[in-house]
Structure 1
Amino acid sequence: MENSSTCSNSTNLKPYYAATYTFILVPGLIGNVLALWVFYGYMKETKRAVIFMINLAIADLSQVLSLPLRIFYYLTGTWEFGSGLCMLCFYLKYVNMYASIYFLVCISVRRLLFLMYPFRFSDCKRICDVYISIAGWIVVCIGCLPFPLLRSEEAKIANKCFVDLPVREVDLPTATAMMTLGELVGFITPLFIIVYCSWKTILSLKEKNVASPDLGEKKKALKMILTCALVFLICFVPYHISFPLDFFVKTKKIKNCHVQEVISLFHAVALCLASLNSCVDPILYYFTTDEFRRRLSRQELQDSVQLHSHGCSKKHSQATLQEEATDC
């Protein structure tokens, strides 16, 4: 078996990272800003997971806003903005990922509960979802702290960041325990919950229950939950398969050079797919939420612009009258 110290990574993946983040930046920014605008006006009209969608859009937007710095680094190969900002952007990447996973699970569970127990959850206070969201942010932010803490301080000297940050030496039992706990809490449990919600929703389509919503409502719920599951499978499953392997490569637990190169390439692809969720989530809102499509329709946008213009004209007229009254 070859020693990892003699291995050299012949594949430069930085241009691929830069291209991926450039591709994500504009649609991710526009899509999530539009999502927040739509959901702001949507909040008073529904209780169906809109709070969780708002938080999902905030999580995505926080990552999108850090992408210009990532693109600059992967194009130039050097970090000139200080180690503090580097670690913050590095940390936000994982906060976004696990916040997205958390809120995808919350959306799936909320839709299933509303579908299965419509009378019990039709009067559910929105404040409950707010508390659940706050608790989720706290847990995710604390749970993601090991990611920056496990990175070595050596990168400060060489102006390195992101994928080039070296990993601290960790013994095999500790590394295995951390990976197992992280995969169980951050990946396997959410995957099980989303699959369970999908399965229960599919079963509900075959049942005839007077107390349940109509067939159309069930199909809408199924479409949303299955779309959440699809986003989860595409964006996060490959990453959570590659992440433990890449961690063991970086900590020199895997020493075969060919295996290292294959794992590094697979991890790069998985990392790009995980980042893709920032511009995929607005597509989820559009195709699974009738209100989202309605508010983005041409007529609705025209009405919104006219209403805004009318409001501005009215304010201007009032201001003019006040000025005239003052002059008199």
Structure 2
Amino acid sequence: MHNVSMRQNGTMELRHPAYALVFGSVIGLGLPLNAVCLWILLRHHSLKSPNTIFMVNLAISDLLLVISLPMRVYYYATGTWPLSNMACIWATMLFRNNIRSSSMFITFISVDRLLAVVYPLRSRHLRTSSIAWKGAAFVWLIVVMVNIPESVEFSRHLNDHNVSSCFEFYPSELDKKLHRSGAAYFQLVLLFTMLAVNIVSTALVSWTLQRQLNDSARVNNKVNVMLIFAMNLVMFTVFFLPVSLVVFFNNLRPALNCLASVNCCLDPLLYYFSFDGFWRKKEDVDTSLARE
């Protein structure tokens, strides 16, 4: 048993530099990409557009994730945690919040595109800036409400056990407490529900676009719109769901956290730049959307 334990510890020690490298790469790509995208959205697009509002909040969510990663890089590079328990809890919550908020904002973007393509006239009273801001506020409210029980359990565990590490303080008793709080299962149910919404939205939009005329302008719009929906499904199946299922595979937690963090680098590349009007001002974007 002693040899097995030593081998397991050795394996973890070898993994730590790899985790530090991944998180460091995410910082190097995610910080400038999301900062530039946020600047473009605020400068070139009006916050009266629901799609812009959701993308701005998505960029903010990704930036909050990125600013929590330097602490993970230090921990996995050195194997030590020099900061307080509260700093550990904040870093952990910022990471977990990104999965929740990003998945919800991406779903809102899908629903907005669904309404714009399938019900362009009947949905105008729904696709307003007021409703979009209320939706964004609702997302952050859910995130805060889920944070409260999780943060309390993390704090109790760190104080009771005098844990000197961070990000890997998930023994069986803590996982059981989190399960009893319902936060883990709430996140799973929420993600599967939003995945179903994205699948249905993709099917409806694809069916609608196939019925439209195949002139070159519409073909380009079709490709861009379907790319958004395809990337939505990739985000859920590759980045969001695996890290949420980690409650059943606790030993894979650090690796799946690394995988999940990559989503903040792909959001600017695969979502923002998939729009024809991303670099154009709002008047041109509205004209483009009206032709959909």
For 1:80, what is the secondary structure of its paired residue?
coil
For 1:136, what is the secondary structure of its paired residue?
helix
For 1:200, what is the secondary structure of its paired residue?
helix
For 1:236, what is the secondary structure of its paired residue?
helix
Query: Partner residue of 1:324?
Result: none
Deviation, 1:214, is 5.0
1:18 maps to 2:20: yes
Q: Which digits, 9 at most, give the CA deviation of each residue in 1:126-166, with x for residues without a partner?
A: 12101110111101221243433333125873421112454
Query: Partner residue of 1:96?
Result: 98
Where in structure 2 are the equivalents of 1:1-328 lying within 5 Å? 9-10=8-9, 11-12=11-12, 13-44=15-46, 47=49, 49-122=51-124, 124-151=127-154, 152-154=157-159, 157-164=162-169, 166=171, 168-169=173-174, 175=180, 179-185=184-190, 187-208=191-212, 216-246=220-250, 264=251, 266-293=252-279
Query: Partner residue of 2:288?
Result: none
Q: Partner amino acid for 1:24? A: V
Deviation, 1:282, is 0.8
The answer for unaligned runs of 5 or more in structure 2 is 282-292
Distance 1:87 1:159, change over 3 A: same
Q: % of aligned pairs identical?
A: 26
Give me the TM-score of the superposition, normalised by structure 2.
0.81
For 1:119, what is the secondary structure of its paired residue?
coil
Runs of 4+ with >6 A deviation = none
Q: Which has the larger radius of gyration?
A: 1
Aligned length: 269
Query: Partner residue of 1:299?
Result: none
Deviation larger for 25-34 or 163-172 = 163-172
Distance 1:170 1:281, change over 3 A: closer
Distance 2:36 2:179 in 1: 43
For the aligned residue pairs, the C-alpha RMSD in angstroms reads 3.0
Distance 1:132 1:229 in 2: 21
For 2:158, what is the secondary structure of its paired residue?
coil
Distance 1:286 1:107, change over 3 A: closer
Distance 1:174 1:65, change over 3 A: closer
Deviation, 1:178, is 5.7
Q: Partner amino acid for 1:204? A: T
Name the structure with the higher helix share: 2
